[in-house]
């Protein structure tokens, strides 16, 4: 019974997170109308295809190394946000500025984002806008203005969530990546 409840809860949570609510298993007892449960994909490749059809966001084609690198830097972006919130709570503006610097714009950051987005029109623009918006956090920290730091952080987080709503990773092989970007694979995340 506990397992059934847990399953029902999981399905409910999943449904509320996805654009197209998946069908409720007929056995959940949550609905009187039996629904059709799609068969599980027989292979991993088909499971990936099934996800591609459910996830309506624009794919960003990336080689495995690039995809891993992108996720690493994403996790560090979130750490930077965590540090900024902690530092502003303590009115430690030096620490705010330091952490904001990690998500701010630099030529190297810009080149990397352009490379990452080479196969997804619009990605690099959103990425550069994010880094330029994050620069305002440092400006507010220099002015020792906690309210302005939080306002700039909020603007920055909007650029994070907007991009996440628009794009998703799509890990591809060398040939697919080369075709999508008109570049030669393999290429490391730092090289053009």
Q: Does 181 bind ligand HEC (CB under 6 A)?
A: no
Q: Which CB atom, from 25 or from 83, has the smaller least distance to ligand HEC?
A: 83
48 lies in the binding site for ligand HEC (CB under 6 A): no
Q: How far is the CB of 1 from ligand HEC (least distance, A)?
A: 34
Q: ∠168-172-174 over CA atoms, to 5°?
A: 140
Instruction: Please report whether residue 78 would count as binding ligand HEC according to CB under 6 A.
Output: yes
Cβ nearer to ligand HEC, comparing 60 with 187: 60
The answer to whether 24 contacts ligand HEC (rule: CB under 6 A) is no
SS (H, E, C) the chain: CHHHHHHHHHHHHHHHHCCCCCCCCHHHCCCCCCCCCCCCCCCHHHHHHHHHHHCCCEEEEECHHHHHHHHHHHHHHHHHHHHHHHHHHCCCHHHHHHHHHHHCCCHHHHHHHHHHCCCCCCHHHHHHHHHHHHHHHHHHHHCCCHHHHHHHHHHHHHHHHHHHHHEEEEECCHHHHHHHHCCCCCCCCCCC
Considering the rule CB under 6 A, would residue 105 count as an interface residue with ligand HEC? Answer: no
12, 23, 77, 92: which one binds ligand HEC (CB under 6 A):
77
State the binding string over 124-163 for ligand HEC (x if CB under 6 A, else -): --xx--x-------------------------x--xx--x
Among 26, 74, 148, 171, binds ligand HEC (CB under 6 A): 74
35 binds ligand HEC (CB under 6 A): no
Residues 77 and 84: beta-carbon distance below 8 Å: no
| Chain contacts with ligand HEC (rule: CB under 6 A) | 60, 71, 74-75, 77-78, 81, 103, 123, 126-127, 130, 156, 159-160, 163-164, 167-169
């Amino acid at each position: 019974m506990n397992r059934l409840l847990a399953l029902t809860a999981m399905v409910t949570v999943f449904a509320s997170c996805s654009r197209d609510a998946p069908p409720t298993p007929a056995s959940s007892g949550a609905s009187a109308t039996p629904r059709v449960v799609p068969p599980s994909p027989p292979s991993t490749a088909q499971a990936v295809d099934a996800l591609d059809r459910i996830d309506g966001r624009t794919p960003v084609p990336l080689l495995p190394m690039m995809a891993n690198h992108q996720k690493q830097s994403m996790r560090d972006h979130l750490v930077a946000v965590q540090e900024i919130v902690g530092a502003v709570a303590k009115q430690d503006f030096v620490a705010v500025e330091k952490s904001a610097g990690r998500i701010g714009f630099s030529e190297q950051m810009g080149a990397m984002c352009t490379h990452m987005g080479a196969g997804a029109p619009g990605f690099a623009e959103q990425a550069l806008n994010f880094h330029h918006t994050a620069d305002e956090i440092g400006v507010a920290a220099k002015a020792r203005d906690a309210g302005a730091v939080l306002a700039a952080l909020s603007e920055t987080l909007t650029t994070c969530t907007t991009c996440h709503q628009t794009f998703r990773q799509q890990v591809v092989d060398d040939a697919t990546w080369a075709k999508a970007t008109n570049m030669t694979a393999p290429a490391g995340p730092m090289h053009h």
